[in-house]
Amino acid sequence: MKKLFLAVVLTATAISAQAQPVFPRSFAEDTKGYMSEAYWKLWSPEEQARIDADIEKYRKADGELVLENIGRNREVKIEQVSHEFIFGAHIFHFNQLGRAEYNDRYKRAYGELFNSATLPFYWREFEWEQGKLRFATEEHDTEEWWNACKEPKSQFHWRRPSTDQIVDFCEKKGIRAHGHILIWGNRQYQQPRWVLDTFTAEERARFNELFPNEPNRRSSRDKKSAEWEAMSFDEAAAAFPEYTKTMAQIFENRIKQIAERYKGRVQSWDVVNESALCAEQNYIPENFPIAKSRNGLMPGDFPYRSFKWAEQYFPKEVKLNINDFHRKPAYTAQVKRLLERGAKVDIMGIQMHLFDTKLCQGIAEGELIQTPSQVREYIGWASETGLPIHISEVTITAPTPDERGLIIQGVIAQQLYRLWFSQRNMMGVTWWNTVDGCGAAHVASSAGLFNRDMSEKPAYYALDQLINHEWKTNTTVKADADGKVQFRGFKGKYRITYKDKRGKTQTVEYTLK
């Protein structure tokens, strides 16, 4: 039977102060101690065969090139050096992990496992004070400062490093840079407090009536007043006539300033985040001065206008993404409508977070969560837009800290990555919190690919085996009498090495699309 698990034995440093688990080696191996029979019924041999066939069909291509001055029947070495497919992770802990050796291991993962890094541009921390954008690295952004910091999680810029240093790092490493987020309706994590100062006195008083939790809300889900919920858009616009104008100008200026700073150095951006549910609830009327997010006021028609601003200020080659957790047909409908109206939406991002350890425990027991059929269903909805799809934020937690829990995390990651990789319109998958204990407050501490001491977990080895071994083409072929070389391989960049008629080694770069 085809091997579907990974032949991976953890190194002696893999899990500190714990027994070293061995990753299951094959589908035929007894996995009762890890995943249930109900789980493997969903991820059956037939399902695995379908995934393999689709990977072969959609992720590979036939390569052909003619080599100059090569002797007949000479061997040609084919080595894949990079993937076309995006395997990313956010890089929110750049220089923040407390020790140089931790930071060094973190940085090595970009280029070693990840070919893309998602950079934090959360507005609240990025522009803590109006007009002071945190592009440049100051003392409190340095590795030395963080190494001396006693309570890193209490710092306002924890998980929010300055961005110039990361853009430089990505360029030096040859890593694709992805910016996250430009516009988001969330006031807890995104909008700075100073935005409220742009109200007139009358508007601020009215706002305080409608949003009694400001400015001390604890959650993005804090209750709004019933009056706000019932208020029509005409009434809302009349209540905040000056703010609606000012707010649009501020949002546009934010996009303009960031675009002017980086131009094409950051290859793609999440322009609008988590707006699909608002669109489904008719909170974003077209061509109207005001809109509602789930958390309050937003500029009118903000998804469409944001994409038009981004198109205006960013170079044409920069990819503009929309991103959402709402894996429903309403998200597809929103994107289709944006495209119909002429918005430049290049990539559709889909989040997949299993924040709660109970969810992953349930998956191992065979509960109907993120099953192959469910994954194909939401990918099918998204594919109706015709856009490339990015699984943009992935969280998979280890349900328990013991061997079984760590293996469960690895198996779930392995199987979902295989399924996502097999989908026709998929362009990439990005893991979210790579280090245990370093996510947002509501995220389980076991969501990383690394332990807190930066030792690798089974899930890391699961992805490494796929990305750097199973899904890389390295082979040797022979050129025909005319120097023609043919091979089939995974899409990406290759190094072609051969000896010419004089016996001199020649190297050619080749891209397989």
pLDDT of residue 223: 56
130 SS3 class: coil
pLDDT of residue 349: 98
pLDDT of residue 210: 86
pLDDT of residue 217: 52
Q: How far apart are CA 387 and CA 382, in angstroms?
A: 8
From the list 168, 167, 166, 161, the residue with the least C-alpha distance to 139 is 161
3-state secondary structure 229-278: HHCCHHHHHHHCHHHHHHHHHHHHHHHHHHHHHHCCCCCEEEEEECCHHH
348 close to 321: Cβ distance less than 8 angstroms? yes
Q: How far apart are CA 116 and CA 321, in angstroms?
A: 15
Sign of the C-alpha dihedral, residues 460, 465, 469, 470? negative
Length of the chain: 513
Contacts of 449 (CB under 8 A, 6+ apart): 89, 109, 113, 431, 434, 435, 456, 457, 459, 460, 463
Burial of 445 from C-beta contacts in 10 A (0-12 / 13-18 / 19+): middle
pLDDT of residue 214: 67
Contacts 24+ apart (CB under 8 A), 23-27: 23/407, 23/410, 23/458, 23/461, 23/462, 24/407, 24/411, 26/1, 27/1, 27/2, 27/3
From the list 363, 358, 356, 360, the residue with the least C-alpha distance to 41 is 363
From the list 330, 354, 318, the residue with the least C-alpha distance to 442 is 354
- The torsion angle over the Cα atoms of residues 63, 69, 74 and 80, rounded to 10 degrees, is -40
52 SS3 class: helix
pLDDT of residue 3: 41
**H/E stretch holding 382:** helix 372-383
pLDDT of residue 20: 40
Phi-psi region of 416 (alpha: psi -120 to 50; beta: other; left: phi over 0): alpha
Number of C-beta neighbours around residue 211 at 10 A: 20
188 SS3 class: coil
pLDDT of residue 442: 86
Q: How far apart are CA 89 and CA 85, in angstroms?
A: 13
**How remote is the C-alpha of 401 from its chain's centroid?**
25
Q: How far apart are CA 417 and CA 35, in angstroms?
A: 17
pLDDT tens for each residue of the chain, 513 residues long:
334 444 333 332 333 334 444 444 443 354 567 899 999 999 999 999 999 999 999 999 999 999 999 977 789 999 999 999 999 999 999 999 999 999 999 999 999 999 999 999 999 999 999 999 999 999 999 999 999 999 999 999 999 999 999 999 999 999 999 999 999 998 878 989 898 888 999 999 998 888 877 655 544 455 567 788 888 999 999 999 998 889 999 999 999 999 999 999 999 999 999 999 999 999 999 999 999 887 778 999 999 999 999 999 999 999 999 999 999 999 999 999 999 999 999 999 999 999 999 999 999 999 999 999 999 999 999 999 999 999 999 999 999 999 999 999 999 999 999 999 999 999 999 999 999 999 998 899 999 999 999 999 999 999 999 999 999 999 999 999 899 999 999 999 999 999 999 999 999 999 999
15 close to 452: Cβ distance less than 8 angstroms? no
Q: How far apart are CA 93 and CA 109, in angstroms?
A: 12
Contacts of 219 (CB under 8 A, 6+ apart): 188
421 close to 429: Cβ distance less than 8 angstroms? yes
Residue in the structure block whose two tokens are 């889900």: 221
Burial of 264 from C-beta contacts in 10 A (0-12 / 13-18 / 19+): exposed
Backbone angles phi, psi at 184, to 5 degrees: -150, 135
Report cis status (omega within 30 of 0) of the bond before 215.
yes
